[in-house]
Amino acid sequence: MDLTIMGQAAKEAAFHLATASTAQKNRALTIIADELEANADAILAANEKDIQLGRDAGLTDALLDRLLLNPERLHGIANDVRNVISLNDPVGSEIDSKVLENGMSLSRRRVPLGVVGVIYEARPNVTIDIAALCLKTGNASILRGGKETFFSNMELVKVIQKALEKAELPAASVQYIEKPDRELVSQLLKLDDYVDMIIPRGGAGLHKMCKENSTIPVIIGGFGISHIFVDESADLDKSLVVVENSKVQRPSACNALDTLLVHEKVASEFLPKLAEKLKGQVELVAEPKAKALLANADKLRDVAEGDFDTEWLSYTLGVKVVADVAEAIDHMRVHNASHSDAIMTNSLESSERFINSVGSAAVYVNASTRFTDGAQFGLGAEVAVSTQKLHARGPMGLEELTSYKWVGKANYLARS
């Protein structure tokens, strides 16, 4: 594959997409959603090949779950595309405006980024999410999925490009790097003449590799240890429900709970209840104080070095007893709290201290970490969850895929 040719085609497609009307873009998205359902049998057959190869390769249950498509999930993906159609198109909107003393009207107008390169792993739904959000915002995209999703992604991209042609938009608006060669990823990261932004979606290794090797701006996201702190003032029974939801509703998701911190004044009451609640579901990895209170757990082991820095993506949960909210915050600062973190509390003072001190992209009071999601936030599908502090944070929806230009209007004004 010649990535330079792909980059040139993407840049040309982005030029046309930048001036496409909202109606044109929505028509393409409507066709994509319809074609996904019309081609369900072919897509699911391709996904079954990936699943079988994954099983043969010994992929974990968590990874297989991220990889799996079924009729319900595919229908949900199509509906996510339809939801994007219903959202306001940010391109062309004005962020703010003012009239200068010299009479010039000055505003900032939203524009597409241009060409977005996205590198992701075993998540075939990401292919559709990225394509939908990029098309809505007038961006071309170059996609590189993991080898685990090869057959699924090839079928999905075929559907997308067929829909683009029906909508009379460039097929090169969405392109896919078909070969799994690592060298091609390195080439993509150096394609700064044509690609305007790189978004990696995957583990810490992928993000590190992109940061160290890319000559293109990189949006870091998706990775981070998610915590819940149960304060001494919390309603313990209600907190138990939220903790269980955060851990087991979909443990392979990046916003699933990794570490539970419990105030020492409620630990002796809360932790035995937790062990009972999670029996048969979750392995608990505990430091000594917590382990002593989790004796009724059926899956329990001592915490080892690095466990509190592990994004589990599975039915495993780290547990620690802390003295107060200050110790909870200190633990989180050391152990990469940058994604989604929550406090269970009935204290306004504790909740505000937690909100103001925790440096995560999304912070919750008395709510599950699982809400960090573009659809849940009303943004439509998301292209990534950004955990950096520049340009975009949290779920990246439509606005986060735009930049802006300054627009000045005057009556033949010359600078004095």
Q: What is the pLDDT of residues 135-192, one digit of tens each?
A: 999 999 999 998 899 999 999 999 999 999 999 999 999 999 998 778 899 999 999 9
Contact status, residue 96 vs residue 121, Cβ threshold 8 Å = no
- In the predicted model, is pLDDT for residue 252 greater than 70? yes
In this predicted structure, which of 72-86, 94-108, 207-221, 334-348 has the lowest mean pLDDT?
207-221
| Residue 393 pLDDT | 81
Contact status, residue 258 vs residue 312, Cβ threshold 8 Å = yes
Q: Which two tokens stand for residue 290?
A: 């917590």
Q: Cα dihedral angle (146, 67, 278, 298), rounded to 10 degrees?
A: -70
Mean predicted lDDT score pLDDT of the chain: 93
CA 43 to chain centre: 23
| Residue 239 pLDDT | 97
| Residue 336 pLDDT | 84
Comparing 237 with 211, the larger pLDDT belongs to 237
In this predicted structure, which of 78-82, 219-223, 239-243, 259-263 has the lowest mean pLDDT?
219-223
The share of the chain scoring above pLDDT 70, in percent, equals 99
Query: What's the pLDDT band for 108 if we cut at 50, 70, 90?
Result: very high
- In the predicted model, is pLDDT for residue 401 greater than 80? yes
Whole-angstrom distance, CA of residue 143 vs CA of residue 106? 36
3-state secondary structure of 21: coil
| Residue 30 pLDDT | 97
Whole-angstrom distance, CA of residue 197 vs CA of residue 391? 12
Contact status, residue 223 vs residue 339, Cβ threshold 8 Å = yes
The share of the chain scoring above pLDDT 90, in percent, equals 79
Closest CA to 33 of 158, 143, 160, 136: 160
Whole-angstrom distance, CA of residue 129 vs CA of residue 383? 6
Whole-angstrom distance, CA of residue 390 vs CA of residue 386? 9
Comparing 221 with 75, the larger pLDDT belongs to 75
Contact status, residue 282 vs residue 299, Cβ threshold 8 Å = yes
Give per-residue pLDDT as tens, 378-400. 776 677 788 777 777 888 889 88
| Residue 5 pLDDT | 96
- In the predicted model, is pLDDT for residue 29 greater than 90? yes
CA 171 to chain centre: 25
3-state secondary structure of 370: helix
Whole-angstrom distance, CA of residue 50 vs CA of residue 68? 9
Give me the count of residues in the chain: 416
What's the average model confidence in pLDDT over 401-407? 93
Helix-strand-coil split of the chain, %, nearest 5? 45, 20, 35
What's the average model confidence in pLDDT over 28-55? 96
3-state secondary structure of 310: coil
In this predicted structure, which of 6-20, 87-101, 379-393 has the lowest mean pLDDT?
379-393
3-state secondary structure of 279: coil
Whole-angstrom distance, CA of residue 159 vs CA of residue 17? 19
| DSSP code for 221 | B
| Residue 380 pLDDT | 65
Comparing 172 with 205, the larger pLDDT belongs to 172
3-state secondary structure of 80: helix
In this predicted structure, which of 111-115, 185-189, 219-223, 292-296 has the lowest mean pLDDT?
219-223
| DSSP code for 407 | E
H/E stretch holding 142: strand 140-144
| Residue 120 pLDDT | 87
- In the predicted model, is pLDDT for residue 307 greater than 90? yes
What's the average model confidence in pLDDT over 369-379? 86
- In the predicted model, is pLDDT for residue 1 greater than 80? no
Amino acid at 74: L
Query: What's the pLDDT band for 222 if we cut at 50, 70, 90?
Result: low
Whole-angstrom distance, CA of residue 318 vs CA of residue 282? 10
| DSSP code for 307 | G
In this predicted structure, which of 305-309, 375-379, 407-411 has the lowest mean pLDDT?
375-379
Entry pTM? 0.80
What's the average model confidence in pLDDT over 252-281? 95
Q: Would strands 385-386 and 394-395 be described as parallel, antiparallel, or unpaired?
A: antiparallel
What's the average model confidence in pLDDT over 224-241? 96
Whole-angstrom distance, CA of residue 400 vs CA of residue 7? 22
What's the average model confidence in pLDDT over 185-208? 89
Q: Which residues contact 283 (CB under 8 A, 6 or more apart)?
A: 299, 300, 301, 315, 316, 317
| Residue 381 pLDDT | 66
Alpha carbon distance, N-terminus to C-terminus of the chain:
54
